[in-house]
């Protein structure tokens, strides 16, 4: 009897187990992220989607990815080249075998479209998110359109016409086709008009996009468009007008040294920067510009891998760049140092006897005018003459005066694949450039006199008091001025391309590109990444000549 | 020890033997064919309840009367019945069963005699694992089963880095990484240890494994439905066995030695090499001087005064040699088991230590297991089992190995006073002396893993059982990393000292409710089973990295002492599977066997509309041997035909699909606006709510045979496996803003043949020689890609791959290496924009230029065929065996070779001793150093076929007459060399892990050891 009862219990138990089987068991959780449906009920989601565009834009500007920095901005131009001896070949700098499998052009494309994609998500979801204050929504959409326009501008100048993706991608579509260059420009201008209408005149917080930032970008875009076959004379005049507005709002800082001083990074002249700051959470990768244009100085006697000069990235300025400065141009001293001081004591042999140099003593020196061998032999430190910048000396292959324009003493020595951790603001727009945009726009509108006046004002700040005459103003003059004023800050390659000077000036002044002499007309457009062509099944077509 | 043994003996003899002193008492000794006594044999008088077991010496006593039939039975031996004729002593010799037929195979939620098996299942038994004698269970699987390809990707002690492919790549995953051994399409099979799914089995002590059954065809794996499509490996740990207490102790101890090291240049050779780099730098220029030669090079332009002095002093440092040491390896395993008819128990203790071949690498594993199974009453059985592993793995420095291969041989490892020098030359400020690494870098993983099960079996009526089994898997692991002041990454800068602690907390369980019904009547035999199964898995993780410490004293145990917090992160995810499974085995006249299986599976990680799927299968076997006509012939001693057809699935989990990935998710990060941290939100990926199950449909035809009185036994299987709706993280144009999405991309086929063969070559007197062969060949073809696409290209770790219709999945797709441009070909080279000394690739379309259209499929990463040979010889008490593991016909990009030849001469790292091109000696193997050209990549794709000798073992079984005096049941002592040789054209370090780069790598090694197996 008892036995049967147990059996019954057993059977009931089984039945119970059978009965509990139901759909609700299939549950999943992922507390590391939330679904967009959940997020739509929170008005803060909109702010976060907008902020994400800032983040992507900042992060892909400070580097393309760990180990790849600024390569499509300054390499292969008249003022920056690769930091090696004048031998060998390279794709981006020397334009030798620059092909669609190039990793950097693929990264750059990906980065720009990731910004566009984040902007599209913010725009498309703005109306679904509940409780967003209308003014916040208007400004936020304006801000992300500014970034979208900036990315399309970068894309169209580098690659020519590119696919216009203006909405959030929700399915795995692959059949993208390239819009014409003109259509991309039309879209950029449309976004910038919306941005100008939407964003605030004065920022609600430092670092936000303001109307002046939009005006400045718009003036760059119009100036560039003016040169195009579909450009209009009015593009130049509008560019000048916009630049004048920006200039009127942002007075130049009194001296260039003060402008570049880390103590004065927020000043009247600057109106758009990416912020990093000291918090590891909000700093992201960190500003990497302090790593610009430095050679492996630490391989020399007396030097260590310290946190004063930091690790450099590979590219170095050309001799042409260093020779651009007049003796009394204050920008030279504010931009680079010719003297590198010892971190630790070292002993050198001078005239057959050992000489000890103490920390703080001169370890490396770059004279502006070449020293004689006798002069060099008489000092205990390393002397590198201008003609030896790209000649191997047993220690490093290339060595040029070290940059200090972006210095940030105290930031740890980092390899290019590690967080750079720079905390300085990364200045993206300042009225110094507006003067140069205005000058170029006036020149192209046949008004060299006003162009000369703008250049005179800008140069006077650098201590060059002789007025520029209308007759002196040429595109080359303006490009030289841009080099002195803006190296490392704006995209030099796009400046040279816009003005039609890329081939001429690069082949003349970039020693590596000159040696290989491979730069051709086709290089005015970068190759479309093969990855895009492969993954669209060929609906995206390659640029001619690649 | 002897005392204790006697005590135990006394206790257990008392426990298990009822002895009466009555008339008709018969006694004797039961032995096996080798004349060794067999303890624990059941001896019963047929038709009575009288029964005893043999004692430790194989002796028994039982009451019987003349005319009785005495039955002797013991697992693994043929049961014999002896008519009793009244003699006082009856000695019996038992014959081992024909293992292949009597072997019981585990098939998932049940077991079946191999003779009655309808599907394709390979088994690895405890004896094979013991013979292979590896530190980890996966290594022990290598080469043991046809069609199971095991690629070891990590030589660090204790690492679970393996790629296992059963019958080729079905599902494809591109989550492969360089540290994972590079590209290898496909996924690891499902591992089930004692009923619970696990990702990795390196926590198991191989000596604790009772058997591994590898389910290969879809009819076998269908019982695991949604997770079966990559094959299933079922592992059972040792459990209690009925009989007297049996104590087994085994150990081994030995040392491990690095070998097969690619040679580097010594000091003087490096100088020659450096000059050749300088010449290459001249040759590479479009207008370079092709008459420039090594003799023109002014060395002092590239070496500073100190380096020049070192060269003059004849410094020639062999950095690799300085790093190496012999690693110690040992294992001690103690197993005990025993039990009565009602209760059996098993327990074990084990300790394993495995040191690497450089300082700082070691692995320590402690295992404890215990199991108990008991009939509580006639209809209720309870069993519990626990398996606990505590392990500590130190992978040592990840830089030391790489630094040793990079550093110039003209640097000095020691200062004049004998102390270690941090930078080998003053000029060198990047690569530090690797001898510092062991003391300055720690990477330690500790884990505690518990696997257990508790099962209740109810048998309300004779034919019916219900089992409810709950199996949890709990794993806590902690990874701690510390980079001290003099480690390479920290380069003596206190701000870069780094401490990382990652804690992971994993819990999963499977709850299986199994209903079983057996029916046997006349010609009909039915075995039906139904399972309701639930699986839940949850993981959480906490990761912290802090930098800038003022001292090395804390390692990673005092994160708060660091001044710079760089990572604080955590995550949590949970997912479930729910399944309803049924299986019916039907046998007619023990000639015709039919198995039908169905599984209805729900997976939480797929979208609402695709959560559920049904996976059916059917299999038929014909035991030809049992037909009358077969009884008349004497060629075959076994013949069985198997035919199966079935469907399994894959929910994408192993390929990286995670919880909630069918929905759009927002991830959060931060940016700085207005000098404060502003939270950002972004879409983590492109969700694909149409994603559905990948399905595998497989047809398998198998033939099991035995010839010549089973001197030759084996099986042949041919299969055709069709995969549809293959889940792949499909790369999307970056234009979308996403890197890709999980998608069902297409269909592929795997066709292959598998042969397993056991032969007794010689069995004469004292000498026996037997061999076990296995061979498998698989051909994979991508049949179709959905959506009108014909190919998908992608890259992993520098290897360029393609899924192209008509080719195998993940074929290597790049330019084809075609030698080196010679000096006299300068003009032809120039037409391609190339220079002498550079790598020449094939102009596939012959249009006179090299474009992306000249890329082609140049190889496959999966081997074309694989095999294993185990050969065992016994002479008297000696045994000798060796094992070969063979893998042929695959290609990898050798990331190991990818070093910096073209680096600028002042910094040139040391290089491998290879026959490179120089103007004086125009090689066609390797390009000119410093002048690789655009297509140098093509040179690194290499054939990585190999034959490895897995072990060579010589053993001696101490004869029973000696052991008897010591009261020991069995003792074997042996010496073995593990992985003694490798034969391969590949000239890197290890053809199995050619896809790895040097970072985090470890040497290939061989181990010399001795050990013993002791039984009481």
Q: Are strands B232-237 and B190-193 parallel, antiparallel or unpaired?
A: parallel
Residue for token pair 């020890």: B1
Is the Cβ pair B668, A48 closer than 8 Å? yes
Q: Which of A29-43, A102-116, A296-310 has the highest mean pLDDT?
A: A102-116
Is pLDDT of A2 > 60? no
| Whether A305 contacts chain B with CB within 8 A | yes
B505 touching chain A per CB within 8 A: no
**A-contacting residues in B 579-598 (Cβ below 8 Å):** 580
Chain B residue numbers with beta carbons less than 8 Å from the beta carbon of A176 are 733, 735
**Is some CB atom of chain A closer than 8 A to the CB atom of B91?**
no
H helices present in A211-271, as ranges: 211-226, 233-249, 256-260
> Bigger pLDDT: B664 or A20?
B664
pLDDT, one tens digit per residue, over A183-192 is 999 999 999 9
Candidates A277, A412, A530; nearest CB to B493: A412
Predicted confidence (pLDDT) at residue B21 exceeds the cutoff of 50: no
CA distance A210 to A252: 18
Q: What mean pLDDT is reported for chain B?
A: 87
> Residue A444 is encoded by which pair of tokens?
């192209």
Q: Which of B572, B603, B672 sits opposite A283 (nearest CB)?
A: B672
Q: Determine the Cα–Cα distance for residues B912 and A184; give it in Å rounded to an integer.
A: 51
At residue B588, does pLDDT exceed 80? yes
pLDDT digits (tens, 9 = 90+) for B828-840: 998 888 899 999 9
pLDDT tens, residue by residue, B306-351: 999 999 999 999 999 999 999 999 999 999 999 998 899 999 999 9
- The residue in chain B having the minimum alpha-carbon distance to the alpha carbon of residue A19 is B532
**Digit-coded pLDDT (tens) for B206-244:** 999 999 999 988 888 888 877 787 889 999 998 888 888
Res B1003: pLDDT: 85
- How many alpha carbons lie under 13 Å from residue B745 in its C-beta half-sphere? 28
Chain B residues near residue A298 by CB distance under 8 angstroms: 429
pLDDT at position B15 over 50? no
* B728: β partners: B743
pLDDT category of residue B510 using cuts at 50, 70 and 90: very high
Which residue of A4, A32, A176 is the best one to mutate when testing the B interface, meaning the one whose CB has the most B CBs within 10 A? A32
Mean pLDDT on B433-461? 93
DSSP bridge pairs for B442: B482
Segment A332-337 shows an average pLDDT of: 96
Report pLDDT digits (tens) over B885-911.
999 999 988 877 865 555 678 788 898
Is-contact B173 B186, C-beta < 8 A?
A: yes
B133-147, B531-545, B744-758: range with lowest mean pLDDT: B133-147
B957: Cβ–Cβ under 8 A, 6 or more apart, which residues? B877, B878, B879, B970, B971, B972
Residue among A51, A172, A206 whose CB faces B688 most closely: A172
Residue A267 β-bridge partners: none
Q: How far does the CA of residue A350 sit from the closest CA of chain B (Å)?
A: 15
- Return the C-alpha torsion angle B17, B20, B24, B25, nearest 10: 40
Q: Which of A397, A514, A389 is nearest to A94 (CA)?
A: A514
What is the reported pLDDT for B54?
A: 86
Nearest C-alpha neighbor of B170 from the set B232, B231, B104? B231
Cα–Cα distance, A532 to A102 (Å, whole number) = 12
Nearest to B278 by CA among B267, B291, B294: B294
| A159-199 pLDDT tens trace | 999 999 999 998 888 889 999 999 999 999 999 999 999 99
Flag whether residue A532 sits within 8 Å of chain B, measured between CB atoms. yes
Q: For residue A34, give how far its alpha carbon lies from the nearest alpha carbon of chain B (Å).
A: 5
Nearest to A39 among B572, B660, B681 (CB): B681
Gap between the Cα atoms of A451 and A442, Å rounded: 5
Q: Identify the bridge partners of residue A335 per DSSP, sorted by sequence position.
A: none
- Asked if A281's CB is within 8 angstroms of B670's CB, the reply is yes
Alpha helices in B265-384 (DSSP H): 267-283, 305-312, 319-323
Contacting residues of B for A530, CB less than 8 Å apart: 852
Which token pair is A432?
């110094």
Chain A CB contacts of B743 under 8 Å are 172
- The pLDDT of residue B10 is above 50: no
| From B286, B460, B532, residue closest to A21, measured CB to CB | B532
- Inform me whether the pLDDT recorded for B2 exceeds 50: no
Mean pLDDT to the nearest integer, B147-153: 83
pLDDT at B335: 93
| Coil vs helix vs strand at B716 | strand
pLDDT digits (tens, 9 = 90+) for B297-307: 999 888 888 99
Which residues of B fall within a CB distance of 8 Å from A294? none
Question: CB within 8 A of B1006, min separation 6: which ones?
Answer: B256, B257, B259, B977, B978, B979, B980, B981
Output the CA angle B953-B958-B959, nearest 5 degrees.
Answer: 135
Best B681, B834, B837, B934 residue to mutate vs chain A (most A CBs within 10 Å): B681
Residue B988 or residue A529, greater confidence? A529
DSSP state of A435: H
Using 50, 70 and 90 to split pLDDT, how confident is the model at B475?
Answer: very high
Residue of A nearest to B604 (CA): A26
Chain A: closest CA distance from residue B571 (Å): 5
Q: What local confidence, expressed as pLDDT, does residue B710 receive? A: 81
Q: Would you call B673 and A276 a contact, using CB atoms and an 8 Å cutoff?
A: no
The ipTM is: 0.91
Asked if pLDDT for residue A15 goes beyond 60, the answer is: no
pLDDT of residue B595: 93
What is the DSSP-derived secondary structure letter of residue B660?
T
How many beta-carbon pairs under 8 angstroms link A with B?
303
With a CB cutoff of 8 Å and minimum separation 6, the contacts of B515 are A14, B464, B465, B466, B529, B530, B531
Contact A173 B301 (CB under 8 A): no
Residues of B in Cβ contact (< 8 Å) with A531: 731, 733-734, 793
Supply the pLDDT for residue A280. 83
First-to-last C-alpha distance (Å) of chain A: 90
Provide the 8-state DSSP code for B55.
Answer: -
d(CA B495, nearest CA chain A) in Å: 7
Q: Does the distance separating the beta carbons of A87 and B281 come in below 8 Å?
A: yes
- pLDDT higher than threshold 80 for residue A5: no
Q: What per-residue confidence (pLDDT) applies to B6?
A: 46
pLDDT at A482: 97
Q: Do B304 and A394 touch (CB under 8 A)?
A: yes
Top-confidence range, A290-304, A463-477, B425-439, B635-649? A463-477
H-helix or E-strand spanning residue A47: helix A44-62
Q: How far is CA A156 from the centre of its chain?
A: 16
Mean per-residue pLDDT for A245-269? 95
> So what's the pLDDT on residue B852?
82
Taking a contact as any Cβ pair under 8 Å apart, which residues of chain B between 748 and 777 contact chain A? Answer: none
pLDDT score at B7 = 43
- The per-residue pLDDT for B987 is 87
Selecting from B664, B732, B734 the residue whose C-beta is nearest the C-beta of A36 gives B664
Return the residue of A nearest to B377 by Cα: A3
Residue range B490-503: mean pLDDT, rounded: 91
Q: Lowest mean pLDDT of A172-186, A218-232, B51-65, B912-926, name the range.
A: B51-65
Q: Is the pLDDT of residue B175 over 80?
A: no
Q: Please give the residue of chain A at the shortest CA–CA distance from B530.
A: A18
List, for residues A312-327, the tens digit of each pLDDT value.
888 999 999 999 999 9
* A507 touching chain B per CB within 8 A: no
- Residue A304 confidence (pLDDT): 85
| pLDDT value of residue B378 | 86
What is the average per-residue pLDDT within B973-979? 93
């Amino acid at each position: 009897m008892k036995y049967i009862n147990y059996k019954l219990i057993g059977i009931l138990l089984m039945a119970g187990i059978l009965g509990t089987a139901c759909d609700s068991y299939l549950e999943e959780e992922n507390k590391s992220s939330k679904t967009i449906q959940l997020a739509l009920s929170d008005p803060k989601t909109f702010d976060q989607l907008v902020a994400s565009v800032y983040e992507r834009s900042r992060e892909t500007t400070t580097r393309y990815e760990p180990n790849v920095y600024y390569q499509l901005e300054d390499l292969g131009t008249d003022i920056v080249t690769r930091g090696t001896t004048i031998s060998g070949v390279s794709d981006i700098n020397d334009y030798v075998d620059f092909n669609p499998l190039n990793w950097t052009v693929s990264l750059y494309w990906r980065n720009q479209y990731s910004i566009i994609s984040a902007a599209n998500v913010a725009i498309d979801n703005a109306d679904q998110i509940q409780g967003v204050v209308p003014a916040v929504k208007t400004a936020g959409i304006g801000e992300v359109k500014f970034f979208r326009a900036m990315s399309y501008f970068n894309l169209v100048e580098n690659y020519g016409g590119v696919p216009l993706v203006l909405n959030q991608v929700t399915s795995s579509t692959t059949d993208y086709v390239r819009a014409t260059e003109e259509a991309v420009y039309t879209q950029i201008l449309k976004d910038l008009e919306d941005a100008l209408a939407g964003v605030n005149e004065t920022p609600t917080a430092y670092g936000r996009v303001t109307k002046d930032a939009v005006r400045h970008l718009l003036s760059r875009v119009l100036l560039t468009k003016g040169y195009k076959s579909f450009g209009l004379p009015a593009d130049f005049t509008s560019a000048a007008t916009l630049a004048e507005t920006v200039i009127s709002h942002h007075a130049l800082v009194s001296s260039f040294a003060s402008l570049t001083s880390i103590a004065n990074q927020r000043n009247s002249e600057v109106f758009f920067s990416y912020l990093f700051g000291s918090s590891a959470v909000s700093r992201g990768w960190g500003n990497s510009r302090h790593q610009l244009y430095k050679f492996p100085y630490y391989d020399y006697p007396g030097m260590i891998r310290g946190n004063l000069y930091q690790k450099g990235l590979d590219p170095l300025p050309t001799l042409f760049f260093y020779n651009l400065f007049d003796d009394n141009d204050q920008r030279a001293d504010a931009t680079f140092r010719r003297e590198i001081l010892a971190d630790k004591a070292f002993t050198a042999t001078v005239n057959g006897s050992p000489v000890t140099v103490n920390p703080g003593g001169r370890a490396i020196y770059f004279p502006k005018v070449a020293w004689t061998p006798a002069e060099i032999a008489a000092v205990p430190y390393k002397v590198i003459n201008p003609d030896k910048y790209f000649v191997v000396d047993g220690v490093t292959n290339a060595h040029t005066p070290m940059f200090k324009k972006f210095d940030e003493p105290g930031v740890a020595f980092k390899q290019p694949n590690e967080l750079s951790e720079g905390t300085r603001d990364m200045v993206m727009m300042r009225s110094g450039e507006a003067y140069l945009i205005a000058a170029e726009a006036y020149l192209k509108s046949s008004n060299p006199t006003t162009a000369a006046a703008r250049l005179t004002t800008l140069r006077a700040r650098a201590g060059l008091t002789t007025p520029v005459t209308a007759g002196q103003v040429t595109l080359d003059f303006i490009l030289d001025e841009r080099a002195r004023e803006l190296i490392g800050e704006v995209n030099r390659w796009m400046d040279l391309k816009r003005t039609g000077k890329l081939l001429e000036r690069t082949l003349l002044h970039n020693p590596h590109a000159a040696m290989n002499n491979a730069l051709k007309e086709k290089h005015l457009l970068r190759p479309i990444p093969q990855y895009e062509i492969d993954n669209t099944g060929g609906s995206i077509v390659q640029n001619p000549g690649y | 020890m002897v005392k204790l043994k006697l005590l135990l003996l006394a206790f257990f003899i008392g426990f298990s033997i009822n002895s009466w002193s009555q008339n008709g008492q018969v006694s004797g000794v039961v032995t096996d064919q080798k004349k060794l006594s067999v303890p624990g044999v059941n001896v019963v008088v047929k038709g009575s309840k009288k029964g005893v077991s043999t004692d430790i010496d194989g002796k028994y006593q039982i009451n019987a009367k003349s005319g009785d039939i005495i039955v002797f039975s013991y697992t693994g031996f043929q049961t014999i019945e002896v008519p009793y004729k009244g003699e006082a002593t009856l000695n019996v010799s038992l014959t081992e069963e024909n293992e292949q037929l009597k072997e019981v195979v585990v098939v998932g939620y049940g077991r079946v005699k191999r003779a009655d098996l309808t599907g394709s299942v390979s088994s690895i038994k405890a004896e094979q694992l013991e013979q292979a004698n590896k530190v980890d269970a996966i290594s022990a699987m290598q080469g043991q089963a046809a069609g199971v390809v095991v690629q070891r990707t990590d030589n660090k002690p204790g690492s679970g880095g393996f790629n296992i492919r059963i019958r080729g790549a079905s599902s494809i995953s591109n989550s492969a990484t360089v540290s994972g051994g590079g590209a290898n399409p496909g996924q690891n099979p499902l591992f089930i240890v004692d009923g619970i799914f696990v990702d990795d089995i390196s926590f198991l002590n191989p000596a604790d494994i009772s058997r591994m059954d590898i389910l290969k065809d879809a009819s076998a794996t269908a019982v695991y439905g949604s997770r079966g499509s990559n094959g299933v490996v079922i592992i059972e740990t040792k459990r209690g066995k009925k009989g007297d207490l049996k104590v087994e102790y085994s150990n081994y101890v030995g040392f491990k030695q690095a070998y097969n090291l690619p040679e580097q240049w010594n000091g003087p050779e490096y100088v020659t090499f450096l000059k050749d780099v300088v010449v290459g730098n001249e040759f590479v220029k479009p207008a370079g001087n092709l008459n420039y030669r090594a003799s023109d090079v002014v060395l002092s332009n590239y070496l500073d005064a100190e380096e020049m002095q070192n060269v003059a002093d004849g410094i020639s440092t062999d950095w690799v040699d300085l790093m190496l040491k012999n690693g110690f390896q040992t294992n001690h395993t103690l197993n005990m088991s025993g039990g009565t008819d009602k209760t059996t128990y098993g327990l074990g203790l084990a300790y394993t230590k495995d040191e690497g071949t450089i300082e700082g690498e070691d692995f320590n594993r402690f295992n404890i297991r215990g199991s108990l199974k008991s009939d509580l009453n006639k209809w209720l059985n309870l069993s519990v089992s626990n398996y606990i592993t505590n392990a500590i793995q130190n992978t040592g420095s990840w830089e030391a190995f790489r630094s040793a291969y990079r550093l110039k041989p003209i640097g000095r490892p020691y200062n004049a006073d004998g102390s270690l020098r941090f930078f080998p030359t003053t000029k060198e400020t990047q690569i530090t002396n690797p001898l510092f690494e062991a003391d300055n870098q720690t990477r330690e993983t500790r884990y505690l893993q518990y696997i257990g099960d508790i099962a209740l079996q109810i048998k309300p009526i004779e034919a019916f059982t219900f089992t409810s089994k709950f199996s949890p898997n709990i794993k806590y692991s902690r990874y701690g990393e510390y980079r001290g002041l003099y480690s390479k990454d920290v380069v003596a800068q206190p701000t870069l000292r780094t401490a990382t602690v990652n804690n992971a907390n994993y819990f999963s369980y499977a709850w299986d409710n199994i209903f079983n019904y057996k029916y046997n009547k006349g010609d009909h035999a039915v075995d039906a089973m139904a399972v309701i199964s639930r699986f839940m898995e949850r993981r959480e993780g906490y990761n912290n990295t802090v930098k800038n410490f003022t001292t090395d004293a804390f390692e990673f145990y005092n994160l708060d002492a660091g001044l710079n917090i760089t990572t604080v992160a955590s995550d949590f995810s949970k997912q479930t599977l729910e399944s309803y499974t049924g299986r019916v085995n039907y046998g007619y006249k023990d000639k015709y066997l039919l198995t039908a299986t169905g599984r209805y599976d729900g997976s939480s990680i797929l979208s609402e509309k695709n959560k559920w799927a049904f996976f059916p299968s059917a299999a038929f076997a014909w035991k030809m041997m049992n037909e009358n006509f077969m009884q008349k012939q004497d060629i075959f001693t076994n013949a069985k035909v198997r035919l199966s057809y079935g469907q399994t699935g894959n929910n994408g989990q192993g390929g990286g699909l995670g919880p909630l990935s069918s929905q759009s998710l927002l991830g959060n990060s931060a940016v700085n606006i207005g000098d404060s941290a502003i939270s950002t939100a972004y879409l983590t990926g492109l969700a694909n709510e149409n994603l559905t199950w990948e399905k595998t449909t497989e047809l398998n035809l198998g033939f099991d045979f035995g010839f010549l009185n089973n001197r030759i036994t084996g099986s042949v299987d041919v299969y055709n496996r069709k995969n549809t709706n293959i889940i792949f993280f499909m790369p999307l144009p970056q234009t979308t803003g996403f890197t890709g999405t999980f998608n069902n991309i297409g269909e592929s086929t795997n066709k292959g043949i598998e042969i397993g063969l056991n032969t007794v070559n010689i069995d004469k007197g004292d000498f026996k020689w037997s061999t076990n062969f296995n061979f498998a060949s698989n051909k994979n073809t991508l049949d179709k890609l959905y959506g009108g696409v014909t190919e998908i290209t992608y890259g992993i770790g520098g290897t360029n791959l393609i899924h192209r219709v008509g080719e195998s999945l993940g074929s290597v797709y790049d330019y084809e290496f075609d030698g080196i441009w010679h000096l006299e070909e300068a003009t032809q080279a120039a037409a391609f924009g190339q220079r002498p000394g550079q790598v020449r690739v094939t102009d596939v379309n012959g249009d006179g230029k090299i474009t992306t259209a000249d890329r082609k499929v140049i190889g496959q990463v999966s081997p074309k065929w694989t095999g294993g040979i185990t050969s065992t010889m016994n002479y008297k008490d000696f045994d000798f065996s060796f094992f070969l593991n063979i893998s042929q016909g695959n290609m990898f990009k050798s990331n190991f070779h990818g070093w910096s030849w073209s680096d600028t001469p002042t910094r040139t790292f040391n290089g491998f001793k290879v026959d490179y091109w120089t103007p004086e000696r125009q090689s066609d193997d390797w390009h000119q150093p410093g002048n690789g050209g655009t297509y140098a990549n093509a040179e690194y794709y290499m054939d990585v076929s190999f034959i490895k000798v897995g072990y060579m073992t010589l053993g001696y079984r101490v004869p029973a007459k000696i052991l008897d005096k010591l009261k020991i049941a069995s003792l074997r002592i042996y010496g073995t060399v593990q992985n003694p040789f490798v034969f391969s054209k590949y000239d890197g370090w290890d053809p199995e892990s050619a896809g790895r780069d040097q970072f985090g790598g470890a040497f290939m090694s061989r181990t010399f050891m001795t050990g013993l197996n002791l039984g009481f």
